[in-house]
Every structure is written in structure tokens, then in C-alpha cells.
């Protein structure tokens, strides 16, 4: 796996974007990511759709590489760590997580995070509906009604649509940055991309394995 980085400064804080769908925040020694949707592949299989479990294993392998690369001691998950009910994928994640005994896992609860409190406690996850670490406020879904903070969120699975000659189209995941917020790309590869950007003034940092690219709306 090829990890590429791009440093940006927001509110006098340096954030390191990666082409692997996560941000490194050096001051807090933390990885920031969103929308892992653990359990989604097993959920589909339970309903008769043959989605391979290799998708989850690939996501977890990428996350392990990022943890090792940056040597972090905290994971800030900005919602939708889990997808639905407890299933075999959730147990796979539990076994995977056991190798990182010293890492603190903080989950800002998303709309899909519906596991019982007892299961969450079993993972030793710190659960928050909103987390403030100055100068940022972490919530799962961005709200334009919040004027009191710079919001880091997820939920929308942002992407950019690049148009080539004729009918050529390419969709890329991205980080979306505005004056008052940053929306993370979905970490899981098993998610769609929302390329319908309606706000002006958005800076999008789209990425491939080969690079990170800046686009301005």
C-alpha cells in the first residue's frame, strides 16, 4: 500500500491528509477517519447478496498500515464505525483490534452506530455524540446551523467528478474543506461517492494511489 501525504493548515493546526482516506493530526497523535461501516459486507451476505469479506479485511489492513506509519495512540472515528447489527464482521474487527492494546478508540456516534451499549463497552470504545478538541468540533453530520465552531464531520462520502472527452467520467473520493468545516471521505472502500456539491467556495482534495490533487469549486 502506498501512503502519500499532503499537509494543510486549518485554524493554525497542521493536518496531514493521506491518499488512504484518513487524516493525521500530529498535535494530538491521532488518526481521524469516518464511515468504516464494519458489518456492512456481512449484512449484505445475510440478505443473500454475495459480497466478499475480503473487502473488510482490506479496509482493516489499510488502517493497520496507517497506524504503523504514523505511530498514533488515538483513533478518532467521526461516525459510522459500524453499519448495522452485530454480525461476524463485528467479531472480526474485535479480534483485529486486540493487537493494538495501547490505542484509545473514540467514536463520535453516527446514524449507523446502533450496537448495544454492552457491545460498545466490550470494545472499550469511548462514545461521544459530539467531541470538542480546540479548535475543532467533531460531529458525524455537518450542520450549516453551527456557527460556533470549525466542524470536522463525515456522513456524506464526498467525491469529485472529473469529465474528460466525450462521455469519459472519473469519480474520486475527496476531503471537502470550507471556511467552517472539513468533511472526511468514507474510509471503507465499500461505499458510494457523493459528487453533488452545491456549496460554492469548497476546496476538494481528491486522491488516487498515485497522488493527492486540489480542486476549487
Unique residue bearing C-alpha cell 484509545: 104
Residue 185's nearest CA partner among 212, 216, 164, 148 is 212
- pLDDT at residue number 111: 79
- pLDDT at residue number 55: 81
119 in any annotated domain: yes
- pLDDT at residue number 8: 98
159 in any annotated domain: no
92 in any annotated domain: yes
Q: Give the tens place of pLDDT for each residue, 131-154.
A: 999 999 999 998 777 777 899 999
Under-70 pLDDT residues of the chain: 39-53, 83-87, 112, 115-116, 198-199
Q: Which residue range forms the structural domain that includes residue 76?
A: 5-152
168 in any annotated domain: no
203 in any annotated domain: no
- pLDDT at residue number 192: 78
31 in any annotated domain: yes
What is the number of domains present in the chain?
A: 1
195 in any annotated domain: no
List all residues 6 or more positions away from 185 whose beta carbon is below 8 Å from its beta carbon.
21, 34, 35, 157, 158, 159, 173, 174, 175
180 in any annotated domain: no
CB atoms under 10 Å from CB of 162, counted, come to 14
Domain containing 60 — which CATH number?
3.60.21
Amino acid at each position: 500500500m502506498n501512503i502519500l501525504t499532503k499537509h494543510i493548515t486549518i485554524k493554525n493546526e497542521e493536518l496531514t491528509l493521506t491518499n488512504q482516506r484518513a487524516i493525521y493530526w500530529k498535535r494530538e497523535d491521532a488518526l481521524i477517519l469516518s464511515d468504516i461501516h464494519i458489518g456492512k459486507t456481512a449484512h449484505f451476505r445475510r440478505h443473500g447478496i454475495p459480497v466478499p469479506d475480503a473487502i473488510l479485511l482490506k479496509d482493516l489492513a489499510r488502517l493497520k498500515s496507517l497506524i504503523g506509519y504514523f505511530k498514533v495512540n488515538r483513533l478518532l472515528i467521526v461516525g459510522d464505525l459500524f453499519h448495522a447489527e452485530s454480525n461476524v464482521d463485528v467479531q472480526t474487527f474485535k479480534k483485529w483490534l486486540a493487537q493494538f492494546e495501547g490505542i484509545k478508540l473514540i467514536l463520535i456516534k453516527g446514524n449507523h452506530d446502533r450496537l448495544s451499549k454492552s457491545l460498545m463497552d466490550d470494545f472499550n470504545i469511548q462514545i461521544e455524540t459530539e467531541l470538542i478538541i480546540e479548535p475543532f468540533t467533531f460531529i458525524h453530520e455537518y450542520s450549516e446551523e453551527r456557527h460556533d465552531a470549525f466542524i470536522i464531520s463525515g456522513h456524506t462520502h464526498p467525491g469529485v467528478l472529473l469529465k474528460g472527452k466525450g462521455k469519459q467520467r472519473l469519480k474520486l473520493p475527496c476531503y471537502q474543506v470550507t471556511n467552517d468545516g472539513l468533511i472526511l471521505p468514507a474510509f471503507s472502500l465499500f461505499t458510494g461517492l457523493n459528487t453533488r456539491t452545491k456549496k460554492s467556495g469548497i476546496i476538494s482534495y481528491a486522491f488516487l494511489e498515485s497522488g493527492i490533487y486540489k480542486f476549487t469549486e
